[in-house]
Structure 1
């Protein structure tokens, strides 16, 4: 656990410095230094860290390494893997046969797009705080869902073009994201959705969406039975708090509520054209916790493209408070995200990224 916290802190420190420097060359040098720690840890990890490493990550790279030309890559991988992801495998494999190097490069690509997206707003909010939120929310997931995490990071950058209302760059970047994971095609809907929400500017509609999502989620999860179980009236339902399926989703649902509640309690101050999509993102984040139960197994992963912009919520709130409240809300907000990270990835072992092990790291040390 400690190694994650150390690399998150180190990376965020460099990025904090980068976000406050006006010189472009110095800024990107610091961004590179911010990327290195998280890319290094992703690269040197054992192949048991992240389920998908053994599902496709390791074997795909080793097979590509044995191919002389891109066209000679096994047809199975050509059909199963997206071209952008395969091409990155191929390029890295021309320099090394180590899949660990590839995992590090893939993480570096992912974080490049995340940090590039954050820097767009460096003069409007403490973007280093958004990076911390990203690490505690998505970094461990990216050690498992490698292709989709890269696609989500690219879509996050595409959202900056939606914010600026630049359609063509938005379409190009989303198309690029699709070359890492085909599910990113749903992100094409972000631009028209962004325009629609900016025009409506109806927080009543947002509240209606929130209430409907909450009611549906709680009904599906049989909340009455859960309450009975906690009261000891029916032990048969106790697994709703303990299992990694039902109880996991209920707890995850409850954990996601604080930030949307804060955001909407101060809606008169925060609710504006520029942040309407952020409000929508927070709504989707809450509903997405029940998506597997409501829609299907892949629903939550697809909704991630609409949820990822929620990393801007805490820094945006802090940017519109006085210095005293910035510290209070910022500290409490990060405590919430750290608690979320601990419960999900450390306590529950979500995505199989804890405990972290690395034979390579042990050899270096």
Structure 2
């Protein structure tokens, strides 16, 4: 745990320090990207046992990539395993999306062990976190170090396990920021790249459709910000109480439709995860909705008059509620909640935005609240040993420190 804390504090410290040098654009941008190195290095030198998915498609796929001289031969080999099970499912290479395969193949041209691939995966994740933070800052004058804090406290641990999905989700959120600026070509390219790392990124289309509907709908704007918070709480209770019935109906419908039967596992009702462990997955979401409700009392007129800002907040609220619904399905099944995680990544932009609605006297308390919640969320993931990401172990790092 101490390695996680030190690397994250170092990254945040660098990003905070360079925030005083905004006028020196090259220096400022260079050190912002430099700030992601400590957490990227930590991800790269970790043992292969840290993160369940490492043994499924990092070490296995990288080992095969080294053996092939041409990318398309490597891609053909992986395609052979698409939708295939078998007793060797855990130990063999997996059919993964082309974007991830390209990254794996390129890294295999220069290095002969998968630690470098883990480093470049986290570096890619970090680059898009920085790009999101910079773009959000330019659009709405949000705090870059605070945006990074939300990522590190709530999503860094996810990225050590759900690596492909983390890259895809962050590119999807970055693409959304281009969409709201009406830069549709840039959005389309980024959305395609996101889906090339993990197919779940296609739900990004739901985000932009939601934004489009809000922009063109008068009825939706009649909802108060308090309404979103209430709806979010109702969804948590409803899915908790009646989820098994809902999934039972979905399972029956899917079972009688031939081309959907392959996806039965997504809605199959199993023992799932105890609700006390699921709540942490929606904590950031509920914090956002609660802050949004309270921001109605302490309005900052300078930012509220910005229509794009308000529409983005409403879009984030609806996507947050969808994320809550999907995340709560973890109580019953172990598949659909991953889509909820994609939606939950919108908190990286939503929480810095909602803070702009508070006046100067209130914003300090609101930031402190988010910092406390962030520490709780991060601490819980470490305590619960989420997807074998804790305890952190690294023979490389231990060996280096011993020799040093």
TM-score when normalising by structure 2:
0.78
Q: Which residue of 2 aligns with 1:245?
A: 274
Q: Give the aligned CA root-mean-square deviation in angstroms.
A: 2.5
Matched, 1:325 2:362: yes
User: In the aligned structure 1, how far is the partner of 2:282 from the partner of 2:173?
Assistant: 23
Distance 1:163 1:258, change over 3 A: same
Number of equivalent positions: 344
TM-score when normalising by structure 1:
0.85
Matched, 1:303 2:322: no
Q: Which residue of 2 aligns with 1:228?
A: none
Matched, 1:287 2:325: yes
Secondary structure of the 2:350 match is: helix
Which runs of structure 2 are paired with 1:199-218 in the superposition (5 Å)? 199-200=216-217, 202=221, 204=223, 211-218=230-237
User: In the aligned structure 1, how far is the partner of 2:157 from the partner of 2:280?
Assistant: 19
Which runs of structure 2 are paired with 1:33-52 in the superposition (5 Å)? 33-52=34-53
Give structure 2 stretches of 5+ with no counterpart: 83-94, 243-271
Q: Which residue of 2 aligns with 1:362?
A: 398
Which runs of structure 2 are paired with 1:117-266 in the superposition (5 Å)? 117-123=132-138, 124-200=141-217, 202=221, 204=223, 211-222=230-241, 244-250=273-279, 252-253=281-282, 256-266=285-295
Q: Which residue of 2 aligns with 1:15?
A: 15
Secondary structure of the 1:125 match is: coil
Deviation per CA, 1:271-296: give whole Å up to 9, x if none.
Answer: 822422222243334334313347x5
Give structure 1 stretches of 5+ with no counterpart: 224-242
User: In the aligned structure 1, how far is the partner of 2:370 from the partner of 2:231?
Assistant: 25
User: In the aligned structure 2, how far is the partner of 1:213 from the partner of 1:128?
Assistant: 28
Matched, 1:96 2:111: yes
Secondary structure of the 1:272 match is: helix
Deviation per CA, 1:93-125: give whole Å up to 9, x if none.
Answer: 111111001110111111111111110122511
Aligned-residue offset at 1:157: 1.1
Deviation per CA, 1:50-99: give whole Å up to 9, x if none.
Answer: 00001221111111012122122164423411111011111111111110
Aligned-residue offset at 1:190: 2.2
CA contact (8 A) 2:329 2:337 kept: yes
Q: Which residue of 2 aligns with 1:229?
A: none
Q: Which residue of 2 aligns with 1:240?
A: none
Q: Which residue of 2 aligns with 1:234?
A: none
